[in-house]
Chain A
Amino acid sequence: MRIGAVILVLLAFVLLSFGFGSGEVSPVVVLRYLFGATELPDREHVEMVLWSLRLPRILGAVLVGACFGLAGALLQTITRNRLAETDLLGINGGAALGVVAGMAYVGAATATEHMLAAFVGALGGTLAVVVVARRGGETSSPLRLILAGLAIASVFQGVLGFILLEDQNHLDRYRFWVLGSLAGVRTSQLAPALAGAVPGWVLAVATVRGCAALNLGDEIAENLGHRPGRTRLLAVLSVALLTGTAVSLSGPVVLLGLVAPYAARHVERDRMGRFLLCSALFGSGVLVVADTLCRTIVRPYEAPASVLVALVGAPLLIHIARSPRPLAALDR
């Protein structure tokens, strides 16, 4: 019921985003085109703007937002920590390091090469975290996972800083990459991104029952016949695939992974499957709105995506935290 409403709102946002852009193609023109008006003066131009500029971008925003939202929700569930975000498992740090190292040492210059470097970095970071967290017997404690992630992310940030301070040009390019943007998304990039995201989604669906059991605590989950360690490993892999894909497509849009589950908990917090779906939907919704604003507020220039996600997401977060209901949820 409520999820249906969320889906409807998301669709409305997508349509709005389809209508507004940076150029002179106004919502009225878009409406007339969509309703089949044939006497439009520059029909080819409108067609080009809609199908090869706006559509891939919107699809990219939906995809990236869903990935970040779902990854954040999974991560908060398996670490049982509501401050956990995708920064945590060394993912964003790994992606940033991958891109900067690619720029500095391998000579990666095109968008596709950056995408690949970010993906490799994100996966590498997560693998390192998992290896460290599983060493020394007690495999699956959430705190070990968090601490290992923090430590690895910190080392990555340190190494990244060394590279950036070595040469001003790296800092110059990094400061734009880190802002994130969906401006360059083309249809040809969506297929490889889907190839990364779909296995992540499948893994997430496969771990839904295990994650729901984890909510009850590791011991009860074991007594119910689940294996918490295995669930966590699968979920971490899923998070790595999802975030790696998303970061490589749009750059790090960190706040999404925190806001989306937070808002989703407002709608549905007991049934795990719906909660995860809701988080993905909220992620998409926030990113679509933010990306539309990116295109329109400083027209004809582009505003950076992470800034607008913060401008849209942070007030949402503050508003939810101020309203009385979720505090009851936090006290549970």
Chain B
Amino acid sequence: MSDSFVTDPVVRTRFCSFRLPRRAMELNLALMAVMGGVLLCSLALGETRLAPGEVWAALTGAGEVGHGLLVNAIRLPRSCAALTAGAALGLAGALLQTLTRNRLASPEVLGVNDGGLMAVMIVVLFLPSASSALWMVSAGGAYLAFLLLMVFSRDIGAHGHRFLVIGIGLSQLLRAVNELMLSAGQLQHVTAVYVWSVGSFVGRGYAEALPVSAGVLFCLGWSWRLQRDIDLFSYGEATAAGVGVRTTSVKIQTVLLAAVSAGLGISVGGPLAFVALAAPVAYARLLGSPRLSLLGAALCGGGMTLTGDWVGRILLAPIELPAGLVCRTLGGLFLLWLLVHPKGRGR
């Protein structure tokens, strides 16, 4: 990290000057290129294979009607939904991990996953008629759980520790009730809820992706403002306060942003458990520096879910595997590879 401070190009204007982190920018561009490639694959390949030219024709509305329908009405919306959910989860994970300086912190500990799952379960088991707007239900449940957490903990505590521990307690309580409901329900309902709790993008589209992506973009913009303060936080809270960061305000903003983006993330496709945890770690290892980049984590998360969704569709076609399962397995293997790979350095 220290040598890149010296070698990075710096832009100086009359009003401001800033450093261009070369390695991070290269990595971000590379990630975006990979994501574009995966997006193209997921538009082209599936049960019906299309050539890249046909995909382009379908996107511009020139090709066959069937292809246009397949690409524009099914595959593209679904891929957008996956991408948005992953980006939101990656962002939430990165925010929490910076705040607590703990790699084990992830949105699961805030209880938002279990809150969302509980709301979905109640609706699926008891009010099947209301299950058309499931994403709003799960987001609502997630935010209710978060509200409960705020009420319980009153104060964030040093590095948000109090917040996290109380969050763990709450999420365990909610999970206990969930498991109880799961063991009492009928088997076909239980299977449906299980698939949701694993995370899947079957049938998701713009109806979920558009409102959620607006929220995610808002969060990303806000967290871009926070990035500088958060970088200083990694030197310790006292140091950050010493150079003029308003620590309490930054902590509150971080937790709020994390909760908002986590709720948005799980509302689209269910709680894809591993993404939020692994995306910041994977980005840091790819970069080879312990600096946590919020944008980078969001990119990594989006890439993971997009790939997971696509691989789940084609791996055992015509059977579709839930994206959450694929993300867990492939993401775990990817993290293992990063760990044993001799070049993997940094933290």
Which of B45-53, B125-133, B189-197, B258-266 is the interface stretch?
Answer: B189-197
A81–B325 CB distance below 8 A: no
User: Could you give, for residues 336-347 of chain B, a 1 whenever the CB lies within 8 Å of some chain A CB and a 0 otherwise?
Assistant: 100111101001
Chain A residues within 8 Å of B154, by CB: 322
A311 and B103 in contact (CB under 8 A), knowing A148-B336, A171-B194? no
Chain A residues within 8 Å of B83, by CB: none
B interface residues, Cβ below 8 angstroms from A? 102-105, 109, 152-154, 157-159, 161-162, 164-166, 168-170, 172-173, 175-177, 179-180, 182-183, 187, 190-191, 194-195, 198, 273-274, 277-278, 281, 321-322, 324-333, 335-336, 339-342, 344, 347
B172–A314 CB distance below 8 A: yes
Q: Return the chain A residue nearest B340 by Cβ.
A: A135
Q: When chains A and B are docked, how far (Å) is the Cα of A159 from the Cα of B331?
A: 12
B105–A314 CB distance below 8 A: no
A154–B340 CB distance below 8 A: no
Chain B residues within 8 Å of A147, by CB: 103, 281, 335, 339
Say what secondary structure dominates the interface of chain B.
helix
Cross-chain pair count, CB within 8 angstroms: 168
- Nearest CB of A to B132, in Å: 24
Partner of B173 from the list A137, A161, A176, A314 (CB cut-off 8 Å) is A314
- Nearest CB of B to A91, in Å: 15
Q: When chains A and B are docked, how far (Å) is the Cα of A172 from the Cα of B102?
A: 36
A304 and B169 in contact (CB under 8 A), knowing A146-B104, A152-B332, A164-B194? no
B169–A146 CB distance below 8 A: no
Partner of B328 from the list A157, A175, A304 (CB cut-off 8 Å) is A157
Chain A residues within 8 Å of B333, by CB: 151, 155
Chain A residues within 8 Å of B161, by CB: 82, 327, 330
Interface residues of A in 146-179 (CB under 8 A from B): 146-148, 150-155, 157-159, 161-162, 164-165, 168, 171-172, 175-176, 178-179
Chain B residues within 8 Å of A327, by CB: 157-158, 161-162
Size of A's binding interface in residues, CB under 8 A:
56
Chain A residues within 8 Å of B179, by CB: 175, 178-179, 304, 306-307
29 contacting pairs across A/B (C-beta < 8 A): A132-B340, A143-B103, A146-B104, A148-B339, A150-B274, A151-B278, A151-B332, A152-B336, A154-B332, A158-B325, A158-B326, A161-B325, A162-B325, A165-B194, A165-B198, A171-B191, A172-B190, A179-B179, A258-B168, A304-B183, A307-B180, A308-B176, A314-B168, A317-B169, A318-B165, A321-B165, A327-B157, A330-B158, A331-B158
B182–A175 CB distance below 8 A: yes
A165–B195 CB distance below 8 A: yes
